[in-house]
Structure 1
Amino acid sequence: MRWGIAGYGWVARDHMAPGIAAAGGTIAAVADPSPAARDRASAAGIAAYDSVEAMIAAGGCDIVYVAAPNDAHLAPVRTAAAAGMPVLCEKPIAASLADAEAMAAAVGSTLYGTAFDQRHHPAHRAIAEAIAAGEIGRPVAVRIVYACWVDPLWSPDGAAHDNWRVDPARAGGGAVIDLALHGLDLAERLLHEPITALLIQLQRRIHAYSADDGGVLAGRTASGVLFQSHVAYNCAEVLPRRRLEVLGEHGLIVATDTMGQTAGGSVVRRCARSGAETPIAFDTGRSPFAAQAAAFMAAVRGGAHDFSMPRDIALMRVFDAAYQEAILCL
């Protein structure tokens, strides 16, 4: 299948594009207002346009993937949906709840997915299967640490970089809106139920920018499973910073270094009775982006899928209510 990418930045270029290729898709075109981004696409042999409208009008795309800054999601999603083209949009849905609601209204019956790549990580799929099979009994709590180092001059490759993720006007916030929604969505997918209550505490502790550089979240699902998460832009990357735990009445599942853009990591299950640890096998060679691209293409072909704008917008509403309250205390 042929993909058109709206916003050819770091994530699209270095992670999603290789993921699409690994899943058997092709990058047919790129739309980006930045001449430098278009030049990079052209150098890779990809047709480049300065607008999504021009890219779609040129034909040759079956799917649109939106990876523009968060405040620029609405227009390309609306354009793709109006053309009846399936659209996969990076998380968060938008920088503001108002834009997210407008996107939900615009999508209509068009196939839409929010690019929560962590739900597709092979390790996390294996964890979901283990939970569903009853291997740790009834779930009690989900605990996540997902952190990294993003200073004001951060760049993925040392070159000049538009670091919009630390600009609240463009990103909708900072570390928390960027990283925490991955964990919230993942918890819902692992447990097959929504998070219905959420509290957030923010910090602006280390970096000299106006966005939050860290936060903790606490919540619960509809049935009473507890959720806890620490996310940060102020954690050195040589430190332990990516961990997922699911506690159940009969055991504990621990995933180390699976939260993130790359393949690999490890998962073990510890028995509550004996303390014995058993590895949980998964495909360590497949990135979450490759798995995500494969899942979305299967959905476009009419296969079963778990992409849902109604569910994603419901999570965004819960998150936004807690986040807006937290901002008042920052």
Structure 2
Amino acid sequence: MLDALATTTGLGWGVIGFGWVAQDYAVPGLLNAGGRLVAVADPDARARRRATALGARAEADMRSLLEDPAVQAVYVATPNHLHRAAVEAAAAFGKPVLCEKPMATTLAEAEAMAAAVRRAGISFGTAFDQRHHPSHQAMREAIVAGAIGCVTAIRIAYACWVDAGWAGDNWRADPARAGGGALMDLAPHGIDLAEFLLGEPVVDIAALTQRQVQDYAVDDGALLIGRTAAGVLVQLHVAYNCPEALPRRRLEVLGSTGQLLAERTMGQTAGGRVWRIDGRLGLRAPLPVPDAGASPFARQMAAFEQWLRGSGDAAAFSLERDVHTMRLLDRAYASARPRAHPDEVAGCP
């Protein structure tokens, strides 16, 4: 529960890990949603200077942030291997937590985090911003209204170019810190989005991974296939080896009477286009998207605050669903098999 301060002012946020996602998207989102950036914890001096410029108190260590009563919720955006320590520390101080995806680097870590959250009795959510994209919410409403009949399949392509030098410290290419590659980073969004659109869980999953282009130790691409509890087939292509100029963000929902097609909606910003395609004549018509220009991050931060206040969508955040997603990622990696011939040269020449 929020204290009395939260009933009269915007939610006071503390941010642990002030990298580009926090700086460019999450913090602008929380401010746009009416929240307040109270404190930031990050070991990098440049990140702390940027936080100070925004009016936040900035420290290298998270303890003082967690001790501050003005911090009413914590957003964790550290590299993946540091999620557990940050979440468990916040739980010990009784702070609600919104944690970036993936929840952790391993299923075991995610389960340990979930146990700490339950013991502390705090509110916890994983930051799946794609379920808050206005286009995706419009697609869900269209599916529920029967716009494409009985849903048969979802196909998602979510790809980008992340080479070894993509960042000064590209921890996403380090298996110890990231927990995996493109599959670990991008597939959680696709899995959660499929479940959001359909209103039911993915129960079966398998994957193939590749290290085809990029020169690092994690997978730079993966194909996943799954099936929901009601039998809808789910296909995900995620990649770090797709040039940015190519079509690389596409979402299709197929049904017995039509199809929903979204292009360039998957990502951190609003925008893209959505169509309904008629199954009889193949005619394409734009799908109306209310509040189309709204930031998915701003909507996510607003939804989290409403959830903490006991209003809004009670199912917007779910610890059990987050652990379920980690179980699916664990099973997907376990199903991926090495090449039949270990001495075969991998990747493009």
Q: Shorter-normalised TM-score: what interval? A: over 0.9
Task: Confirm or deny: 8 A CA contact 2:12 2:36 kept in the other structure.
Answer: yes
Task: Confirm or deny: 8 A CA contact 1:295 1:305 kept in the other structure.
Answer: no
Which residue identity does 1:141 align to in structure 2?
A: A
Q: For residue 284 of structure 1, what is the aligned residue in structure 2?
A: 292
Q: For residue 203 of structure 2, what is the aligned residue in structure 1?
A: 196
1:220-250 deviations in whole A, cap 9, x for unaligned?
A: 0111100001111111111100000000111
1:315 alignment partner, SS class: helix
1:156-196 deviations in whole A, cap 9, x for unaligned?
A: xxxxx321111111000111110011000100111111111
Residues 42-81 of structure 1 mapped to structure 2, 5 A cutoff = 42-81=52-91
1:131 aligns to 2:140 (yes or no): no
Which residue identity does 1:85 align to in structure 2?
A: K
Q: For residue 321 of structure 2, what is the aligned residue in structure 1?
A: 311
Gap change, CA 1:24 and 1:327, over 3 Å in 2: farther
For 1:18 and 1:102, how far apart are their aligned partners in 2? 31
Query: Structure 2 length normalisation: TM-score?
Result: 0.90
1:124-143 deviations in whole A, cap 9, x for unaligned?
A: 01101000111111110000
Which residue identity does 2:326 align to in structure 1?
A: M
For 1:16 and 1:168, how far apart are their aligned partners in 2? 25
Task: Confirm or deny: 8 A CA contact 1:77 1:103 kept in the other structure.
Answer: yes
Task: Confirm or deny: 8 A CA contact 2:94 2:122 kept in the other structure.
Answer: yes
In the TM superposition, residue 327 of structure 1 has moved relative to its aligned partner by 6.0
1:73 alignment partner, SS class: helix
Residues 151-170 of structure 1 mapped to structure 2, 5 A cutoff = 151-155=163-167, 161-170=168-177
Residues 97-246 of structure 1 mapped to structure 2, 5 A cutoff = 97-108=107-118, 109-155=121-167, 161-246=168-253
Query: Structure 1 length normalisation: TM-score?
Result: 0.96
In the TM superposition, residue 206 of structure 1 has moved relative to its aligned partner by 0.6
1:55-110 deviations in whole A, cap 9, x for unaligned?
A: 01133111100000000001111121222211100000001111101111011131
Task: Confirm or deny: 8 A CA contact 2:182 2:238 kept in the other structure.
Answer: yes
For 1:328 and 1:56, how far apart are their aligned partners in 2? 44
Identity across matched positions, percent: 55
For 1:89 and 1:174, how far apart are their aligned partners in 2? 19
Q: For residue 342 of structure 2, what is the aligned residue in structure 1?
A: none
For structure 1, list consecutive stretches of 5 or more residues without a partner in the other structure. Answer: 156-160
Gap change, CA 1:110 and 1:328, over 3 Å in 2: farther
Task: Confirm or deny: 8 A CA contact 1:194 1:315 kept in the other structure.
Answer: no
For 2:292 and 2:272, how far apart are their aligned partners in 1? 7
For 2:117 and 2:231, how far apart are their aligned partners in 1? 32
In the TM superposition, residue 328 of structure 1 has moved relative to its aligned partner by 4.5
For 2:100 and 2:334, how far apart are their aligned partners in 1? 21
Task: Confirm or deny: 8 A CA contact 2:208 2:335 kept in the other structure.
Answer: no
For 1:232 and 1:314, how far apart are their aligned partners in 2? 22
Task: Confirm or deny: 8 A CA contact 2:67 2:93 kept in the other structure.
Answer: no
For 1:87 and 1:228, how far apart are their aligned partners in 2? 30
Greater radius of gyration (CA): 2
Task: Confirm or deny: 8 A CA contact 1:30 1:55 kept in the other structure.
Answer: yes
Q: CA RMSD in A?
A: 1.3
For structure 2, list consecutive stretches of 5 or more residues without a partner in the other structure. Answer: 1-10, 340-345
1:238-292 deviations in whole A, cap 9, x for unaligned?
A: 1100000000111100000000011100100011122222211222211211111
Which residue identity does 1:49 align to in structure 2?
A: E
Task: Confirm or deny: 8 A CA contact 1:64 1:86 kept in the other structure.
Answer: yes
1:15-72 deviations in whole A, cap 9, x for unaligned?
A: 1111111111121110112222212212332111222221011331111000000000
Task: Confirm or deny: 8 A CA contact 1:30 1:46 kept in the other structure.
Answer: yes
Task: Confirm or deny: 8 A CA contact 2:260 2:277 kept in the other structure.
Answer: yes
For 1:37 and 1:59, how far apart are their aligned partners in 2? 23
For 1:328 and 1:194, how far apart are their aligned partners in 2? 28
Q: For residue 158 of structure 1, what is the aligned residue in structure 2?
A: none
Residue range with higher mean Cα deviation, 260-269 or 303-312: 303-312
Which residue identity does 1:34 align to in structure 2?
A: D
1:273 aligns to 2:283 (yes or no): no
For 2:242 and 2:14, how far apart are their aligned partners in 1? 34
Which residue identity does 2:245 align to in structure 1?
A: V
